[in-house]
Structure 1
């Protein structure tokens, strides 16, 4: 995770970002700390990367890399406003002793678009990560990759429209995907939890699951009820200030799979 020390919305690279709308770094930091402390309370170890002045979106650490089997493929961002984040993540992984660290050749926005299910990697494209990055991820990790196309600009990263819950179970918003991708998801995950538009629009799918507890925006009440019905424990989080930049629970969380 990365503290939102420099959080602000001074440019727009997604439909959620409006530089004319007031933001509060203090509120963002308080909400982020609530998420951080919740992870710790649930027994998870949280590593921190230092925020860099001039990189307000660095709080969205999920975009920094994809980490599977002890290997880290660091992001290559589409937008110049975030490009310098890659160097910070490369330095962090190398300083922390990770031996297999590489920066992606093609535009690849980390766990924003690449979600590991335990066996395969679900890969998003359409707005950010390059389609060619899907092959690069498959070759780097030696894992099957399933390509999915996003079509609604509100859900510009895969992790805004789909979340892996554990044991091959997912939840997603069908309206975010192309017809072909909806067919792929329906065939591969016939028992998936389907979110309605109201829960998706508050970033309810931008969630993190440890297989038991699912941390998600507290406004996604419908999804929380469906998760309870499936035996999960939903844990609500308030990250409404960070949503002004187009991110929530998962965006703030890069999973380190050693």
Structure 2
């Protein structure tokens, strides 16, 4: 069946973002971070604000988590927790440079007064390594491991959130989080770069998502898969023109944003945006 654009339906989402007011590359904990490359904080703020305004213009609600001194990576808000149906499964970061971010995110959820917060016992980095598809097989969590999140955390998330978690092994250090190798395009389908995953995980993804959009290495290296989609509008890195063309052909509407400064820390659109699922 040929899918035309009008068949793609957007759904209003709620997001959490943190401004890059303290952003810098002061250490290297992924292959993209170069401490010798200066960061233009003013430009980073402008790019971040444009991303926030883009999401709002598309009809979505954006909450803002204040930046904190000494936590330059807080701008990557997706890593602070993973939420499903009013429950927030908290993060426990692998590297000590980011450990305190977890408490800032926990405080946000507790201050809202409507979330059930689950304190993790094993290392996991929130939506960096978890994706949720509510319409896939009755509600499914895709969970990455190999570089940051420990595989045992997947079963803990499954128990806390009451949704089956499918473990996927990442094998290429350039794609150190699931969200730079795979993205939910809507509530039931995904895009991903097969080369980021082990052979077994590739077979699992092919079986579960036969209609997935397959990205190539160039798409992935342009941080194209580090995207945010509402089911119709797909907000992604401006460099990912190849993936944008594939999305258009598949009936989605790509919305390109420039995040060159934030890419210096190893992240793009999705890294900066946590989805809140009350």
CA distance in 2, matches of 1:175, 1:124: 14
- Answer whether contact 2:82 2:126 (CA < 8 A) is retained: yes
Matched with 1:8 is: 24
- Answer whether contact 1:90 1:102 (CA < 8 A) is retained: no
Matched with 1:111 is: 127
Deviations 1:98-133 (A, max 9, x none): 341122110010000000011100000000001110
CA distance in 2, matches of 1:211, 1:159: 17
More displaced stretch, 79-88 vs 97-106? 97-106
Deviations 1:53-111 (A, max 9, x none): 00000000000000100100110000000000011111111011134112211001000
Matched with 1:187 is: 207
Q: Does 1:65 align with 2:85?
A: no
Structure 1 residue corresponding to 2:190, chosen from 141, 159, 170: 170
Normalised by the length of structure 1, the TM-score is: 0.99
CA distance in 1, matches of 2:106, 2:248: 38
CA distance in 2, matches of 1:78, 1:65: 14
- Structural mapping, 1:117-196, within 5 Å: 117-118=133-134, 119-196=139-216
CA distance in 1, matches of 2:187, 2:263: 29
Aligned length: 258
> Where do 5+ consecutive residues of structure 2 fail to align?
1-16
CA distance in 2, matches of 1:67, 1:82: 20
Partner secondary structure for residue 166 of structure 1: coil
- Answer whether contact 2:118 2:160 (CA < 8 A) is retained: no
Matched with 2:114 is: 98
Partner secondary structure for residue 207 of structure 2: helix
CA distance in 2, matches of 1:169, 1:69: 19
Identify the structure with bigger relative contact order (alpha carbons < 8 Å, sequence gap 6+): 2
Deviations 1:165-189 (A, max 9, x none): 1141110001100000000011111
Instruction: Could you list the structure 1 runs, at least 4 aligned residues long, displaced by more than 4 angstroms after superposition.
Output: none
Matched with 2:229 is: 209
CA distance in 2, matches of 1:31, 1:90: 26
Normalised by the length of structure 2, the TM-score is: 0.92
Q: Does 1:249 align with 2:269?
A: yes
CA distance in 2, matches of 1:43, 1:173: 29
CA distance in 1, matches of 2:115, 2:266: 32
CA distance in 1, matches of 2:119, 2:245: 39
More displaced stretch, 56-65 vs 186-195? 186-195
- Answer whether contact 2:171 2:196 (CA < 8 A) is retained: yes
Partner secondary structure for residue 30 of structure 1: helix
1:39 CA displacement: 0.5
Structure 1 residue corresponding to 2:259, chosen from 228, 232, 239: 239
1:21 CA displacement: 1.1
RMSD of equivalent CA atoms:
0.7
CA distance in 2, matches of 1:99, 1:124: 24
